[in-house]
Chains A and B, each alone.
Chain A
Amino acid sequence: MSILAIDTATQVSSVAVAKEGRLLSELTMQGKLTHSETLLPHIESVLKMAATAKEDLEGIAISIGPGSFTGLRIGLAAAKAMSYALNIPLVGVSTLKALAYQLPVPGVRLVCLLDAQKGNAYVESYRWENDELKTVEAVKVAKISDIIADCGALGEQVILLGDAVQKKIAGKLELPENVCVAMPHLVMPRAACVAMLGQAELKAGHVDNVMDLEPVYIRRSEAEVLWEKRHPEEAQATKPTEEM
């Protein structure tokens, strides 16, 4: 199965082509151009490098969030349109899980943090058990300082990954003894991981609906949150469930 994977959840633009569990090509960069400008040219490049015609693709895996709202939408809009035009299945892969997938280290807790603005991060914790990546603590939004303090209180080795590490933690914050950051080349998302996880999902028959797939935002828009504060009664009547 040939699969194209896309990750535009952070300032990293990453696309990859994989076939039968083998990474054929990957282009990962943090540059000055926006995802909007580079994504399609990069997809064209990785297909060429992998000597794979777009018509030979059998699936698309998209890093579905959480992350930058706009970045996620750029990736997802491209992935949906391509899935529709080539008539191939599309599957969303958790951006946080794909991050943890970079470090196949058993016996430690992998804490993945994606920037959620204003000193906050989307955070989810994982552990490898019997060659499988298990979620230890489900995704939530928390203050980065609180996340680190909580990690320090754990009686085990913790490795931090994600764009919040690159932006806000590595070399900037003092870390407890049992906590360290992943090496710089492993700290940011990569489409290769999205490809491997996505391929497994597709093989297991998990396909997302190209018509209504949405990014995993975790957070609602600020306008909605503000409106609810000002209209508490009406908000109670139509309480959405996505807020954490």
Chain B
Amino acid sequence: MEKKNEELLTLAIESSCDETSAAVLRGGREILANIISTQIPIHQKFGGVVPEIASRKHIVNIMPVIDECLREAKVELKDIDQVAVTYGPGLVGALLVGVSAAKSLAFSLGKPLIGVNHLEGHIFANFLAAPDLEPPFMALVVSGGHTALVDVQGYNRFRMMGQTRDDAAGEAFDKIARVMGLPYPGGPRIDALAKEGDPMAIDFPQALTEKGNYEFSFSGLKSAVLNYINSEKMKGHELNKADIAASFQRSVIEVLVGKAFQAVKEAGRDTLVLAGGVAANSGLEARLREEAEKRGVRFLYPSKILCTDNAAMIGCRGYYQALAGGYSDLYLNAVPGLSLTDK
């Protein structure tokens, strides 16, 4: 007898960067287990993720994480109905570990394989966080490598409003944190430091702010901050790191908030969701919430654990993709430069 969709068990695997994760979902939204093994402490001394080291950790962690996930979910592998896996974007060597394991599991079990776009996964984390959320809505995706506005018109219908032309917001955060001598990962450190500083202290630029432009550019802002830091150092001034962090963060946030609500208005949406690793930034979340309240827009963002790279969001995306027949064959390869596109 065919299982009902809401009974389907999806095993999901995520290994795109520095977290090895496996999850089991029942239906599209019920998380039975979501195990995340992070490598952040290992990469800290290098000041960023070292791809070869990340890949080496994934190949060691992958089976224990899957095994623990199934035990926590109290599900036997043979009862899994489909296997979802992140195939991009990310670090190629890291992605390949998850992709290869997922393909082999799907083949061994004789079950379908679903290759999932990591960025779509971040958007779908919101379905796990808010059980009543349904398309259409606007999604602001802000992660280490990506910044984008996506009009989610249906579970399998996306319209790209715009994305970054150069650096992602997260990249700018990491680079500036490094120059200020803050330990990796820099994003949360800047967020914390910004709370102690004056956001109006330094006037950093905001790019592409003309109306109707949904593209982002953060390389100019990044250079401006770096130049400011250098010139202060040359003058022998002591750096006011809190003011720099607060002023930089304000520039990023104002651009994101401005464009996000413009997009909400243009597309006629009543809901805005935040997605991606930088969604954990408290300053951004607070400003979006404030603006949403002012405008009567529903604003959602995932819990901290669902904002980080995790397999549950990949399972959620995989589930809805499979409902529309979005399966992969055993030739599935990792695509490190995979982007968000219209669907």
Residue pair B56, A221 in contact (C-beta under 8 Å) = yes
Instruction: Give 19 A-B contacts (CB < 8 Å), ordered by A residue.
Output: A36-B96, A40-B104, A40-B331, A54-B108, A69-B52, A73-B59, A73-B96, A73-B97, A74-B97, A78-B101, A80-B62, A82-B107, A82-B108, A84-B66, A211-B63, A211-B64, A211-B67, A223-B52, A224-B50
- Per-residue CB proximity of B292-313 to A under 8 Å, as 1/0? 0000000000000000000000
B274 to chain A, nearest CB (A): 33
A214, B56: Cβ atoms closer than 8 Å: yes
B59 touching A85, Cβ below 8 Å? no
The 5 closest A-B pairs by CB, nearest first: A85-B108, A81-B104, A77-B100, A221-B52, A40-B330
Majority secondary structure, B binding face: helix
Q: B60 interface residue, CB < 8 Å from A? A: yes
Distance, CA A133 to CA B65, complexed state (A): 38
Given contacts A36-B334, A40-B330, contact A78 B103 (CB under 8 A): yes
Using known A-B contacts A43-B107, A211-B67, A212-B60, determine if residue A221 contacts B53 with beta carbons closer than 8 Å.
yes
Check B100 against A36 for contact (C-beta < 8 Å).
yes
- With A40-B330, A41-B331, A85-B109 already in contact, the answer to whether A76 and B59 are too (CB < 8 A) is yes
Interface of A, secondary structure class, is helix
Of A84, A210, A211, A222, which one neighbours B52 at CB under 8 angstroms? A222
Cβ contact within 8 Å between B334 and A85: no
Docked-complex contact A80 and B55, CB < 8 angstroms? no
Q: CA–CA, A86 to B104, complex, Å? A: 10
Inter-subunit contact A80/B103 (CB<8 Å): no
Which residue of chain A lies nearest to B102 when distances are taken between CB atoms in the complex?
Answer: A81
Bitwise interface map of A from 12 to 43 toward B, beta carbon under 8 Å scored 1, else 0: 00000000000000000000001011111101
Beyond contacts A76-B59, A77-B104, A80-B63: 4 other A-B pairs, Cβ-Cβ < 8 A, are: A40-B103, A81-B66, A223-B46, A227-B46
- Check: B77 CB closer than 8 A to any chain A CB: yes
Q: How many residues of A contact B (CB 8 A)?
A: 36
CB-defined contacts of A70 to chain B, threshold 8 Å: 55, 92-93, 96
User: Bound state CA distance, A40 and B77, in angstroms?
Assistant: 19
B35 within 8 A of A: no
Residue in A40, A75, A210 with the greatest tally of chain B CB atoms within 10 Å: A40
In the assembled complex, the CB of B10 is this many whole angstroms from the nearest CB of chain A, namely 16
Specify the chain B residue showing the minimal Cβ separation from A78. B104
Q: Which residues of A contact B334 (CB under 8 A)?
A: 36
Residue of B nearest to A215 (CB): B59
Chain B residue at minimal CB-CB distance from A74:
B100
Is B108 a contact partner of A81 (Cβ separation < 8 A)? yes
User: Which residues of B (73-95) have their CB < 8 Å from a CB of A?
Assistant: 77, 92-93
Chain A min CB distance to B172 (Å)? 23
* Residues from chain A with Cβ under 8 Å of B64 in the complex: 211-212
A39 and B50 alpha carbons, distance in the complex (Å): 26
> Does the CB pair B63–A69 fall under 8 Å?
no
> B176: CB under 8 A from chain A?
no
Complex CA–CA separation, A39 to B109 (angstroms):
16
Instruction: Tell me whether B192 is interfacial, beta carbon within 8 Å.
Output: no
Contacting residues, chain A, for B53 (C-beta < 8 A): 221, 223-224
- Of the candidates A70, A73, A79, A86, the one having the most CB atoms from chain B within 10 angstroms of its own CB is A73
Asked whether B59 lies within 8 Å of A36 as measured between CB atoms, the reply is no
A44: interface (CB < 8 Å): yes
Give chain B residues whose Cβ lies under 8 Å from the Cβ of A36: 96, 99-100, 333-334
User: Considering the chains assembled together, what is the distance between the CA atoms of A211 and B105 in angstroms?
Assistant: 15
Q: Is B45 an interface residue (CB 8 A)?
A: yes
Nearest residue in B to A231 (C-beta to C-beta)? Answer: B45
Closest to B80 in A: A85
**A221 CB contacts on chain B under 8 angstroms:** 50, 52-53, 56
A192 CB to nearest B CB, Å? 21
Known contacts A36-B96, A70-B96, A223-B46; is-contact A85 B56 (Cβ 8 Å): no
Contacts of B333 in A (CB 8 A): 34, 36-37
Residue contact A69 to B67, C-beta cutoff 8 Å:
no
How far apart are B68's CB and chain A's nearest CB, in angstroms?
10
Give CA–CA (A175, B58) in the complex, Å.
Answer: 41
**In the assembly, what is the distance between CA of A38 and CA of B100, in Å?**
10
Known: A69-B52, A222-B52. A81 touches B330 (CB 8 A): no
Contact pattern, B 313-343, Cβ under 8 Å of A = 1, otherwise 0:
0000000000000000011111000000000
The closest CB in chain B to the CB of A80 belongs to B63
CB distance from A39 to the nearest CB of B (A): 7
